[in-house]
Structure 1
Amino acid sequence: MKKQITTIIGIILIIVIALFALINFESVDVNFGFASVRVPLVLLILISVLVGALIIFLLSSILNVKKNRQYRGLEQQSEQRQAELTHQIQELQASLKELEIRLKNASGKQELGVKDQQISSLEAEIDQLSEKLSQK
């Protein structure tokens, strides 16, 4: 939509400039400081418009080049940051796996400890029952 509006405004400006040039068709003297030339006003207006358009084009091109450089710099920074974050994620995943292994080992040891306690208590009960049997 923005490009359409810009195009319409550009066409309107071209028509206004052409009408202005056609209305002012007489010749005028143009002094360049070292030479003086008699030129039709229409030609002078059109040349002035073309020089102005060329200047605007050059300035906008320079701004676009600067913006492209900034964009590339920001893109490189973004890629570096993504690489850093990917590395951090990999480190965190490795730490998570290590912690999971430790947790499994710890829970396995706890289970062994509980089973050892159960065995000890069963052995104690067996000893008590054996004593009772031997007493009878």
Structure 2
Amino acid sequence: MSGAIVMKNQWRLVAGIILIIIIVLFAVFNVDSVPVNFGFAVVDGPLIIVILVSLLMGSLITLLVATGSATKKNKEFKQMRAEIDTKGKEIQKAVDAAKVAYEQQIADLRTELIQKDNKINSLEEELIKKFTGGSPNQPSGV
């Protein structure tokens, strides 16, 4: 695994060196002086400087636009996360309330079941008394 990381870093280093060589060659081949018109003034400067300043200004503008957009998205994300958390809490409260209601219903049904079991047992004892003519614990003469 570490061999793959070392190899990846070596390729990055090689790619970086090649890119630097290309930029240096580009700068050497573009040293001609060119006029730049700002609308209110005209400035003469080396072509490579004009290109690099233009590149930096474009990068800065892109960064500012991307940062503004990312900040807006991040704010929306936080609002949505807060809304999800609020809805989740509301849902959890509703689930807990339903759970308590169902648990109470189960307890009531169990109580009713116990009462019915007791009723069945008492009816069985009455039937046994009726047919045996005595106590339910006496063995039958059969």
- Which TM class, normalised by the smaller chain length? 0.7 to 0.9
Counterpart residue type for residue 127 of structure 2: S
Which of 119, 126, 134 aligns to 1:120? It is 126
1:53 aligns with 2:59: yes
Aligned partner of 2:93 in structure 1 is: 87
Are residues 113 and 9 of structure 1, via their aligned partners in 2, closer, same or farther at CA, if it must alter by over 3 Å?
A: farther
Please state whether the residue corresponding to 1:33 is helix, strand or coil: coil
Structure 1: gaps (5+ residues): 1-7, 129-136
Larger RCO: 1 or 2 (CA < 8 Å, sep 6+):
1
Which protein has the bigger helix share?
1
CA distance in 2, matches of 1:61, 1:96: 51
CA contact (8 A) 1:21 1:46 kept: no
- Given the two structures, how large is their TM-score scaled by the length of structure 2? 0.72
1:125, distance to aligned residue in structure 2 (A): 2.8
Q: What is the aligned length?
A: 124
Cα separation, partners in 2 of 1:13 and 1:65, compared to 1, 3 Å: farther
1:69 matched to which residue of 2?
75
Q: TM-score, normalised by structure 1?
A: 0.75
Which stretches in structure 2 are left out of the alignment for 5+ residues?
A: 1-13, 135-142
**What corresponds to 1:104 in structure 2?**
110
User: 1:44 is matched by which residue type in structure 2?
Assistant: V
Distance 2:58 2:24 in 1: 15
**In structure 2, what is the equivalent of residue 25 of structure 1?**
31
Deviates more, 1:10-19 or 1:35-44: 10-19
1:87–1:100: structure 2 CA closer, same or farther, 3 Å change rule? same
The secondary structure found in structure 2 opposite 1:39 is strand
Q: Deviations over 1:70-103 (max 9, x none)?
A: 2102211220121022112211220222022112
Between the aligned partners of 1:25 and 1:10, the Cα distance in structure 2 is 23
SS in 1 for 2:39: coil
Q: Does the Cα contact within 8 Å between 1:26 and 1:41 map onto a contact in 2?
A: yes
Q: Which residue of 2 aligns with 1:134?
A: none
| CA pair 31-96 structure 1, distance change in 2 beyond 3 A | same
1:21–1:45 Cα contact (<8 Å) kept: no
| Distance change >3 Å, CA 21–CA 74, structure 1 → 2 | same
